[in-house]
Structure 1
Amino acid sequence: MIKSIYISLFLLLLGNNLSFSQTELGKDLVALDTISKSQINPLAPAKAAFYSAVLPGLGQAYNKKYWKIPIVYGAMGTSIYFYISNNKKYHQYRDAYKSRLEGYTGDEFSYLDDSRLIAAQKFYQRNRDLSMLITGLFYILNIVDANVDAHLMQFNVNEKLTVKPDIYRNDFTSRQNLGISVTLKL
């Protein structure tokens, strides 16, 4: 009975101490929260995504990540180049096959038979369609990158909060163990 009274009294005193420290910490967090809310623009990710949808690379410029703009245009330009090249080859083989069906034999692919012309048409058509799909994927990736980058710019990353891998020695087994060290400096 007396033991339970001592335990409850100890917990009561400990609870008051914890609540005091939590209120002080709570005041600091409220002050930090009001400062960070004034700096965060919740519409920035949507605006960056909209800008990238209108003109690829514009969202990266809005996020001030100018080094990503040549990558965006390089990826999309390369896939568009392959689309145009494969489309041109597809039409050349298609036109040669159509002229063969009409009875003309003096085309630039006179060394190929009809089955080879059909196979070449299918090959270049598939590559053309794949190039267009890759262009669309690069376009979507451009929008997603601008959106995610704008979201990540709003996070507070500084030296007071660190997460790093840590290798330590286990005293019982004398083996090296891998762990994660989380440090928060107030």
Structure 2
Amino acid sequence: MICTVSIKAFSQKDSTAVKGVKVKGKIEVTDDFYNPLSPSKAAFYSAIFPGMGQIYNKKYWKAPIVWGAMGTSIYFYLDNNSEYKRFRRAFKQRKAGLQDEFTLDDGSQLISEDGLVNAQNILRQNRDLSLLATIVLYTLQIVEASVNAHLMQFNTNDNLSFKPVIIQDPSMVYAPTLGMSFKLTF
């Protein structure tokens, strides 16, 4: 009983509950500041065409970075894939007893069979890593567009501040106590 009464005695008054307020006319809400669909639109546009979500967020300088990163990883994927197919075709021709591009007219070989196998393995690994990099970059640019759209709606005025401070405790002269100060002014 004492705990219940003491909790009720120290509780704060609800500042949102206002009694007796009447509104005449219609209340108009403007979506200038907060648009809950903005992050999903940015993510959707980035999923359709990489970099378009950044353009939607009006961060135009990020779009060429996205295009350059995606283009580089796609270039390396295509280059490694074509080289892999080249060495694979030569290996298959050599196994079939035909002359491949790494065998000279006199029958001498520029690359051994083991060299062809090793080249295939390395190029296949590089191709797969390039594909993985492309997928990761594609996903990251979608996430970046969505997060950026969320953060654009975040209130960052000077009335909200966060400042870590060292608070001296008078009872413990030798050991300073670390604390944080959170200031919100209206």
Question: Which deviations, in whole Å up to 9, do the C-alpha atoms of 1:107-164 show, x marking residues without a partner?
Answer: 2362322122112112111210111111011111111111111112122121111112
Which amino acid in the other structure matches residue 59 of structure 1?
G
Q: Give the TM-score of the pair, scaled to structure 1.
A: 0.76
Which amino acid in the other structure matches residue 86 of structure 1?
N
Aligned twin of 2:22? none
Mapped to 2, the partners of 1:36 and 1:169 lie a distance apart of: 47
Contact 2:90 2:100 (C-alpha < 8 Å) held by counterparts: no
Aligned twin of 1:107? 101
Q: Structure 2: which 5+ residue stretches go unaligned? A: 19-27, 104-108
Matched, 1:56 2:50: yes
Mapped to 1, the partners of 2:84 and 2:92 lie a distance apart of: 12
Aligned twin of 2:183? 183
Instruction: Label 1:69 to 1:83 Cα distance change in 2 as closer, same or farther (>3 A).
Output: same
Identify which range, 71-80 or 159-168, moves more after superposition. Answer: 159-168
Match 2:87 to one of 77, 88, 93: 93
Question: Which deviations, in whole Å up to 9, do the C-alpha atoms of 1:28-64 show, x marking residues without a partner?
Answer: xxxxxx8786631111111111111111111001111
Aligned twin of 1:31? none
Aligned residues: 166
Mapped to 2, the partners of 1:157 and 1:49 lie a distance apart of: 23
SS at match of 1:100: helix
Aligned twin of 1:117? 116
Instruction: Label 1:174 to 1:70 Cα distance change in 2 as closer, same or farther (>3 A).
Output: farther
Identify which range, 94-103 or 49-58, moves more after superposition. Answer: 94-103
Give the 5 Å matches for 1:12-161. 19=13, 22-23=14-15, 39-105=33-99, 107-108=101-102, 110-161=109-160
Mapped to 1, the partners of 2:64 and 2:158 lie a distance apart of: 31
Mapped to 2, the partners of 1:73 and 1:26 lie a distance apart of: 51
Q: Give the TM-score of the pair, scaled to structure 2.
A: 0.76
RMSD: 2.8
Which amino acid in the other structure matches residue 62 of structure 2?
K
Q: Larger % of helix: which?
A: 1
Measure how far apart 1:166 and its partner are. Answer: 2.1
Measure how far apart 1:169 and its partner are. Answer: 4.0
Mapped to 2, the partners of 1:35 and 1:173 lie a distance apart of: 54
Mapped to 1, the partners of 2:178 and 2:110 lie a distance apart of: 66
Measure how far apart 1:73 and its partner are. Answer: 1.2
Measure how far apart 1:86 and its partner are. Answer: 0.8
Identity %: 46
SS at match of 1:66: coil
